[in-house]
């Protein structure tokens, strides 16, 4: 059985990756993480996909790592497990697509990390989030990296030191997710957000995502210098030329880079 299933919709420029091990609460075993990374990197090479939505089968988005692998593994095996998890999170960051988490149910520990690692997130208002490692004597160190880059320091520390659940409404308020919506419109809201983004130039989205990821690690002055170089170079890109011309002419742009991809597909 595939632990992560890919479904691509090239006409909509959107792909879905579904975590598919509900009996194990979609635990991020080494096998599932490996499949997830492979799918993300495979899709990243496709210029006809602009958005990737990560969702899950069953009532739990992801319960985090498979604790049996942590408990029973030799030290080098456990180290490799966490390295594999890190590689999967990096694949999301390095993806040429905008990655959206569609969350239903709970997302805990590395499952919460997965949500935090995505570029955007939409959750059912009944969803809950936690980094409860402190309760079992294993502080959520790796989840803390991504969670603390979404939340303010005090709120991230509260999650990590108490292990308490955060509601979807609070997750929206404090920046872990973008929207908390009723369960019945979760898929619709996520697709609406994805569709808004998917209509834009793949090249522009990729450049923008890489710029955001890099500048977050810089000082304000360094980031402004870097952003100035990026936007100056991008201004001569055919998609930028077309987009500006279309705006000034009050028409819908036809992205040159996308037309090349569609021609190649045909």
CA distance 178 to 121: 5
Asked if residues 114 and 89 have their Cβ atoms less than 8 Å apart, the reply is yes
Q: Model pTM greater than 0.85?
A: yes
Burial of residue 217, with CB atoms counted within 10 A of its CB: 0-12 exposed, 13-18 middle, 19 or more buried: exposed
Locate CATH 1.10.12.10 in the chain.
202-265
3-state secondary structure of 33: helix
Asked if residues 201 and 209 have their Cβ atoms less than 8 Å apart, the reply is no
What is the model's pLDDT at position 260? 58
Asked if residues 121 and 150 have their Cβ atoms less than 8 Å apart, the reply is no
Q: List the pLDDT tens digit at each of the 266 positions of the chain.
A: 799 999 999 999 999 999 999 999 999 999 999 999 999 999 999 999 999 999 999 999 999 999 999 999 899 999 999 999 999 999 999 999 999 999 999 999 999 999 999 999 999 999 999 999 999 999 999 999 999 999 999 999 999 999 999 999 999 999 999 999 999 999 999 999 999 999 999 999 999 999 999 999 899 999 999 999 999 999 999 999 999 999 999 999 999 988 755 444 33
Asked if residues 55 and 18 have their Cβ atoms less than 8 Å apart, the reply is yes
End-to-end CA distance of the chain: 32
Tokens representing 80 are 């490799």
Asked if residues 121 and 178 have their Cβ atoms less than 8 Å apart, the reply is yes
- How far does Cα 5 stand from its chain's mean position? 16
What is the model's pLDDT at position 262? 45
CA–CA distances in Å: residue 141 to residues 17, 86, 106, 134: 26, 12, 19, 10
Asked if residues 169 and 125 have their Cβ atoms less than 8 Å apart, the reply is yes
Q: Does domain 202-265 have CATH number 1.10.12.10?
A: yes
Locate CATH 3.90.226.10 in the chain.
4-198
Residue 116, beta-bridge partner list: none
What is the model's pLDDT at position 256? 93
Look at the domain 4-198 and name its fold.
2-enoyl-CoA Hydratase; Chain A, domain 1 (3.90.226)
CA distance 75 to 57: 31
CA distance 241 to 146: 36
- How far does Cα 192 stand from its chain's mean position? 16
CA distance 205 to 231: 13
What is the model's pLDDT at position 259? 75
């Amino acid at each position: 059985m595939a632990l992560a299933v890919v479904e691509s919709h090239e006409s909509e420029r959107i792909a879905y990756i579904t975590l598919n091990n509900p009996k194990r609460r979609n635990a991020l075993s080494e096998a599932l993480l490996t499949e997830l990374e492979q799918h993300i990197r495979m899709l990243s090479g496709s210029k006809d996909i602009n958005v990737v939505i990560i969702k899950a089968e069953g009532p739990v988005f992801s319960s985090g790592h498979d604790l049996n692998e942590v408990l029973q593994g030799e030290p080098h095996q456990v180290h490799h497990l966490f390295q594999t998890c890190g590689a999967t999170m990096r694949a999301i960051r390095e993806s040429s697509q905008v990655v959206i988490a569609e969350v239903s149910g709970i997302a805990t520990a590395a499952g919460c990390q997965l949500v935090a690692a995505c570029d955007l997130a939409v959750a059912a208002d009944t969803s809950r989030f936690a980094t409860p490692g402190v309760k079992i004597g294993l502080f959520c160190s790796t989840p803390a990296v991504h969670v603390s880059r979404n939340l303010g320091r005090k709120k991230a520390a509260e999650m990590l030191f108490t292990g308490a659940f955060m509601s979807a409404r609070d997750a929206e308020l404090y920046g872990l997710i973008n929207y908390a919506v009723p369960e019945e419109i979760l898929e619709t809201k996520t697709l609406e957000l994805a569709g808004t983004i998917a209509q834009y130039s793949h090249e522009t989205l990729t450049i923008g995502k890489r710029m955001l990821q890099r500048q977050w690690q810089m000082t304000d002055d360094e980031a402004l210098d870097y952003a100035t170089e990026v936007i100056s170079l991008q201004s001569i890109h055919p998609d930028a030329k077309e987009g500006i011309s279309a705006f000034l002419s009050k028409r819908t742009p036809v992205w040159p880079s996308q037309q090349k991809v569609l021609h190649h597909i045909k």
